[in-house]
Amino acid sequence: MRLAGQIAIVTGGSRGIGRAIALRMAEEGAKVVLGARDRDALSATVKEIESGGGSAASIALDLRQPDAPAVVANFALERFGGISIVVNNAGATKRGEFEDLTEEDWADGFALKFFGAVRLTRAAWPHLKLSKGSLIFISGVGGRTPGRQFAIGGSVNAGLLSFTKAMAEAGIRDGVQVNAINPGTVRTARFEKRLAAFAAERKIDVSSAEQRYVEEENITRIGEPGDIAALAAFIASAEGRFLHGSLIDMDGGSTKTI
């Protein structure tokens, strides 16, 4: 119960990595507030946490809206009386060739993952200062090594990594721990779609496509949401407190640069 007494906000908490982080932090003793758009999926995650003896609440909203992050922060304060952990996880960006990406695609990518994180950080920062809490950004290895198909995502993630470093310096002054996790390829619904397309391109069945993918990407394996969740829980615990301003690649070895 390394996070007993903590109050955590996890955005994008209805599925994938965000859901896994919410479940793990609740298991570690934190009271968890989940924010996302899918009300039913949020409710199901809250029920799962509560059935395991944990404490959680959810609020359905669109973090692309400028006022939504403050609503999440206020909800956590009203429900649990404070904020001591914030995990900015929400956000998926469109892949594709640059010529095919529209102005709306770019605006949408930055609105949710980048500006949603900036706004929630702004809303939660005074409370994180009071609790001497922990702020974690879930960015992505594309921020270090973007590719042709990942122009939006690479740009957004790189911005988040820079923002992490800026807030980490403020955190030294204010007593707030700030770090970022860069997941590599993780088994989520988005990955399953990519794997199906990968299999179709190579004219192989999906069941054998994963091993081919691992070989071609030169990685150890496909990550699981629980891998990222375990790292997030460690960072926010007393054991991980010396981590500060760190941009941590958890990617099975996909990032080859120093």
* Total Cβ atoms within 10 A of residue 75: 17
Do 119 and 69 contact (CB within 8 A), yes or no?
A: yes
Rounded distance, CA 181 to CA 174, Å? 21
Summarize pLDDT for 94-122 with one digit per residue, the tens.
999 999 999 999 999 999 999 999 999 99
Is residue 62 within 8 Å of residue 68, measured between CB atoms? yes
Domain with CATH 3.40.50.720 in the chain: 7-186+225-249
Q: What percent of the chain has pLDDT over 70?
A: 100
Question: Can you spell out the DSSP letters for 152-182?
Answer: HHHHHHHHHHHHHHHHHHHHHHHT-EEEEEE
DSSP 76: H
Is residue 120 classed as helix, strand or coil in its secondary structure? helix
Q: Assign 210 a pLDDT band (cuts: 50, 70, 90).
A: very high
Average pLDDT over every residue of 67-71? 97
Torsion sign across C-alpha atoms 168, 240, 227, 202: positive
Q: b/e map of 13-34 (b: 16 or more CB within 10 Å)?
A: bbbbbbbbbbbbbbbbbbbbbb
Burial of 207 (0-12, 13-18, 19+ CB in 10 A): exposed
The structure tokens listed for 119 are 């706004």
Contacts of 60 (CB under 8 A, 6+ apart): 35, 36, 37, 38, 39, 42
CATH number of 7-186+225-249: 3.40.50.720
* pLDDT tops 90 at residue 258: no
Query: What's the confidence (pLDDT) of residue 257?
Result: 86
CB environment 224-234: b (16+ within 10 A), e (fewer): ebebbbbbbbe
Give me the chain's average pLDDT, please.
96
User: Is pLDDT above 90 for 85?
Assistant: yes
Task: Show the beta-strand stretches assigned E in 123-257.
Answer: 134-138, 177-183, 247-250
Beta bridge partners of 108: none
> What are the tokens at 186?
């993780």
**Global pTM?**
0.95
**pLDDT recorded at residue 146:** 83
User: What integer pLDDT is reported at residue 92 of this predicted model?
Assistant: 85
The residues near 136 (Cβ < 8 Å, ≥ 6 apart) are: 85, 86, 87, 88, 178, 179, 180, 181, 232, 235, 236
Rounded to whole angstroms, how far apart are CA atoms 9 and 7? 7
Query: Which of these, 124, 25, 116, lies nearest to 64 by C-alpha position?
Result: 116
Q: Which amino acid is at 31?
A: K
Q: Do residues 243 and 176 touch, judged by C-beta distance below 8 A? A: no
